[in-house]
Structure 1
Amino acid sequence: MARKQFRFFPQRFGFFPYIWLIYLVFPVLNLKGYSGFKLMAGYALVLLFLVTYRQLYWQEGKAFSAWLGLQILIIVVLFILYSPYNLYMGFFTSNFIGWYADSRRFWRALTVFAGVLIALILLSLAHIQGTEILFLLPFIMMMLVTPFGIRSMNRRRLLERELDQANEVIRQMVKREERMRIARDLHDTMGHTLSLITLKSQLVEKLVVKNPERAQAEAREIERTSRAALRQVRELVSEMRAVSVAEELAEAAEMLRSAEIALEVDGDAALPGVSDLTQNILSLCIKEAITNIVKHSGADRCRIGIGMTAGEVRITVEDNGVGLGQDRGAEEAERQGGNGMKGMAERLSLIDGSLTLASGAGGGTLLTVVTPRVVKDGKDGETG
């Protein structure tokens, strides 16, 4: 069995805990002038304080509170028996109070800590000059404010970690949905195609002697069918990789050019700051919309608008084709596009996006896709 490696502090905190150790020099310096048992007891208390400091990085729950209480008690003893300036060690405690995620425990710990600080100042009024008290007051205020800043920072980190986990779940759901869609496509298209090739192969085998010319014609048909099947497989495989909006627009331009439909793009196709997940879902929606335009619209012009604000990404796809007609809308579009519109809506729902279908300003059809933007700061954050 491999021996577990000893670590003084958890690795995830990096060098931060070691930097704080520098401030333990001050309580050691405050022991200057003492000797004998009191000096050794002072060193022992500083060493025990160091132990509490390490343990608080590893403990949780009631154990964490117990070690925090012991740390406060050591500060009280060092303050009363040695030097009032040992009160600065309270900065260690104020940092750890901010670690409480539960509001009740946070306020309870902060109240106890504030009570201890006030009590120490009141008990030592006879021994501390007025100027020294005034010098200590700003630091006491900082000790009482610090837990709020630390708690806010920790809550933000927790939210970012939960957001990362949620995004990972969404990515897995998108992958699973894409696999299901590809499986359906394979079953609906390739299953039929392969069955047709099998039947024609059996027919060629029977005709090769009786009617060679007919057998050759059927063989050529098999070749055409197999090439079409190969093309379908390539299309399905190409859709499995993540595609950016800019890449999809390039493919859309080529498809529309082949169909003799003019394309106009307004906006920044790069979508800076938008995550790969969002871009991939948007690109699939654009692909489906362009396919519907080519197949059903009868248009000769298509306009794609890309807009981005602090809160959302909006993409519009408009054509000048036959449109939806009077009293028709999403149901008609779904009938025309098969499962395309439903697939778009399902993908967008994974990232809280939505789509609307309406008649364009000059006739034709206007598809609007909106997805929210989630902005995160930090090295590991992402915007999208």
Structure 2
Amino acid sequence: MQTWYHIIPKNTGLSSYVWIIFCLLPFFFIFRSSSMTEILIGIGMTLVFFLSYRLSFISNSRLVYLWVSIEMAISLIMTMLFGYIYFSLFLAFFIGNIHHKGGFLSLYIVHLSTTVAAVTIVLFTQNESLFPQLPFIIISIIGVILLPFTIRYRNKQQKLEGQLQDANERISQLMVLEERERIARDLHDTLGHKLSLIGLKSDLAGKLVPVKPENAINEIHDIRQTARTALKEVREMVSNMRGAKLEDEITRVQQIIEAAEMEFQFDGDTTLTNTPLLVENVLSMCLKEAATNIVKHSGASWCYVSIEQSETDVHIQIKDDGIGISDDTQSYQGHGLQGMRERLEFVNGNLEILSDQGTTLNIRVPNVIQQTEQEESV
């Protein structure tokens, strides 16, 4: 069961003030009675109902059905004696929170049938007391019919959204682990061979110093050159690993395009919401690669970039009026498009290429959805 135990139900489509009125209304119906005994009975049953209603939210599954049975009995008595039907809405809300399907259906059928039966009996026996509030009674009956299913489906949706959020967090963790492994491989490939070479040449230079000093000096020069090459590759790798903001990359792309004497147009917003830095970095790298291709290979006179973020994905479109791209594999590899595809696949994105009167690149990456905090289900 849920640990939440407020008397006033939340997220049912009705304002909290309406539920407050439903909490106070029974006393209005009770005090219309002329008998002091009926008034005391009515007040006592109202207090017991709200006490049971609270206990039904905080009790274990075995006692829940006991409290619900007490609440149903009180609701029927209040309907028969005082014409107060609105406790049935509280029950309808709670029944919608029952997690077990069998228990939900059983309580739903019993509650609906007893409520309809009680209202029908009172309408035939005490027509004058219920007739003025007949529209509200009809609304209450509709609530008893629909509210449990509405609450049940809402709880299922929140549960699925919570599972989706957990899955997205797990995917993000896996992406971080995969990126760390990639960095480790790059470091191994970049430094492993060259450090081994430096070690071998150092041993060789040490052996040649007393025998052939000139050859030892050449080996030392090779060691220095190898170290500089390794340092340069490490710097390039670290530079590529740095997170690039899309806003900064747009500015650099504009500078590159305009420096090539092309017209640059931009549409959209560079501020992305609910987008991890890794995804934004991949988008920035793809945008940079696309701009480089336009400058080097397209022969275009203008470049258009648009960024659009919807509820489901981020869409970046890059267009030019250049010579286009042929469909052969060498053209794709030569323009770095295969590398762009691989980067996008890493974040579950895709690249669409259209080559008609220029080139159009459509880059789409799904959003990481942030869900609202999930209530525990009954």
Q: Same fold (TM over 0.5)?
A: yes
What's the counterpart of residue 221 of structure 2? Answer: 217
Shift of 1:287: 0.9
1:333–1:341 contact (8 Å) kept in structure 2: no
Count of aligned residue pairs for this structure pair: 356
Alpha-carbon distance in structure 1 between the residues aligned to 2:102 and 2:250: 53
Residues 200-232 of structure 1, C-alpha deviation per residue, up to 9 Å, x if partnerless?
443444455613653553353144124314404
Pick closer, same or farther for the CA change 1:317–1:157 going to 2, 3 Å: same
* Residue of structure 1 in register with 2:55 after alignment: 55
Residue pair 1:316, 1:368 contacting (<8 A) in 2 also? yes
Unmatched runs of 5 consecutive residues or more in structure 2: 11-15
Provide the rounded CA distance (Å) in 1 between the counterparts of 2:116 and 2:249.
Answer: 65
Residue identity in the other structure for 1:355: L
Is 2:232 aligned against 1:228? yes
Please give the per-residue CA displacement for 1:270-326, whole angstroms capped at 9, x wherever unaligned. 155x4223x74254144146348759984376846224275653223457888654x
Q: Which moved more, 1:20-29 or 1:365-374?
A: 20-29
The whole-number CA distance in structure 2 between the counterparts of 1:206 and 1:263 is 62
- Contact 1:313/1:372, CA 8 A, preserved across alignment: yes
Say whether 1:97 aligns with 2:95.
Answer: yes
Contact 2:6 2:54 in 1 (8 A): no
Give the deviation of 1:31 after TM superposition: 5.3
Q: Report if aligned partners of 2:165, 2:370 keep a CA contact under 8 Å in 1.
A: no
Instruction: Measure, in 2, the Cα distance between the counterparts of 1:186 and 1:322.
Output: 39
Identity of aligned residues (%): 23
Residue pair 1:204, 1:219 contacting (<8 A) in 2 also: no
Residue from 357, 367, 370 that aligns with 2:364: 370
Shift of the 308–66 alpha-carbon distance from structure 1 to 2, 3 Å rule, reads farther
Aligned to 2:345: 346
Higher relative contact order (Cα pairs below 8 Å, separated by 6+ residues) = 2
Q: Given that residues 56 and 68 in structure 2 are in contact (C-alpha distance below 8 angstroms), is that contact kept between their aligned partners in structure 1?
A: yes
Name the counterpart of 1:172.
Answer: 173
1:348–1:206 Cα change, 3 Å: same
C-alpha distance in 2 between matches for 1:208 and 1:71: 98
- After superposition, the C-alpha distances for 1:99-133 in whole angstroms (9 at most, x for unaligned) are 25677765654443232222112222455233633
Structure 1: unaligned runs, 5 residues or longer: 1-8
Residue 93 of structure 1 deviates from its aligned partner by: 0.9
Query: Using the alignment, how far apart are the partners of 2:279 and 2:7 within structure 1?
Result: 37
After TM superposition, give the deviation of residue 161 of structure 1 in Å.
Answer: 2.6
Taking the aligned partners of 2:77 and 2:227, their CA distance within structure 1 comes to: 92
> When the two structures are superposed, what TM-score results if normalisation uses the length of structure 2?
0.71
| Aligned position for 1:71 | 71
- Deviating more after overlay: 260-269 vs 190-199: 260-269
Q: Which residue of 2 aligns with 1:3?
A: none
Residue 267 (1) aligns with residue 267 (2): yes
**Could you tell which deviates more after superposition, 97-106 or 47-56?**
97-106
* Structure-to-structure mapping, 1:150-229, within 5 angstroms: 150-151=151-152, 153-206=154-207, 210-211=213-214, 213-214=217-218, 217-229=221-233
3-state DSSP of counterpart to 2:86 = helix
